[in-house]
Amino acid sequence: MNVYDSHLHVGVLSDTEIVYPKGVKEFVCQYEVKGGLIMPTACVGGEDDLGLYEVLYSEGLKCGFQIALYLNLAVLKRLKEGHYNVKYPFSAFKIHPEAVFFSDNDLEDVCAVIGEMKKPLLIHTGGIDSSHALRFESIVSRYKQQIFVLCHARPSSEAFYLLNKYDNVWIDTAFLSIEKIKANVSETNEDRILFGSDFPINRWFSELENDEEWYHKQIKNIADIIPFRVSEKILCKNYLKLFRNI
């Protein structure tokens, strides 16, 4: 089965390390991953992230990846004012409410701006109130034509609640345990779950196995434990359905 990874990172990991698309491509190809969506890490320097990232985006396209534009407030302001030259064919937009605080008004601006572009909005969900999945129910419920991908699906109870309630909500599996996937997947939501790894960010978590063991396990668990009809959707078909024509 071909695999597509909807949550891959390039960019600054530390003061001394930059991850380039070529390195990501070489790693994921070991696991029959045929493509995916790459986005910058949240470690963005300065007010505008399209300096170094223009190089990374360009290289990412050459490597066959689709690209998500990382939105900080400076980029959002330029897009909102119509002064931003979006140079590359982005397939999605990404916000990280833990790295960059977005007020409720900012979120409205995000939806208004990208709604015209008809691209999915990826939202990092995590462990603090500003990034809990339920925080975004208001915009999800009002912007019905906008596709929202809740990256990490955290807290899982909130993310699956939204996934089951709203047809425009998707999730990815980055750091979502196989037990939680198995317990919550259903015929009504299985078409909106994407395989995502957050690679190579997992190296920041000492409790995880090394990159190779962890990545292989993520794919193998979905393929072996989830019925094939569903695992094929999560690992491949759902990604192609969402991003093939973007």
Higher pLDDT: 100 or 194? It is 194
pLDDT of amino acid 46: 45
Could you report how far apart the first and last alpha carbons of the chain are, in Å?
Answer: 22
pLDDT of amino acid 206: 60
**Over pLDDT 90: what percentage of the chain?**
65
**Structure tokens of 235?**
């690992």
Q: What share of the chain is helix, strand, coil (3-state, %, to 5)?
A: 45, 20, 35
Cis ω before 200 (30° cut-off from 0) = yes
Query: Is this structure's pTM higher than 0.85?
Result: yes
Q: How do residues 117-162 score in pLDDT, each as one tens digit?
A: 889 999 999 988 889 999 999 999 999 999 999 999 999 999 999 9
- pLDDT of 27 above 70: yes
**How far is Cα 85 from Cα 156, in angstroms, rounded to an integer?**
37
pLDDT of amino acid 47: 47
Dihedral over Cα of 27, 49, 89, 246: its sign: positive
Q: What is the full DSSP assignment across 37-102?
A: EEEE-S---SS--TTHHHHHHHHHHHTT-EEEEEP-HHHHHHHHHT-----S--SEEEE-TTTS--
Query: What mean pLDDT do residues 3-20 have?
Result: 88
**pLDDT band per the 50, 70, 90 thresholds, residue 209:** low
Q: How do residues 44-103 score in pLDDT, each as one tens digit?
A: 544 445 567 778 888 999 999 999 988 888 888 888 887 666 667 889 999 999 988 999
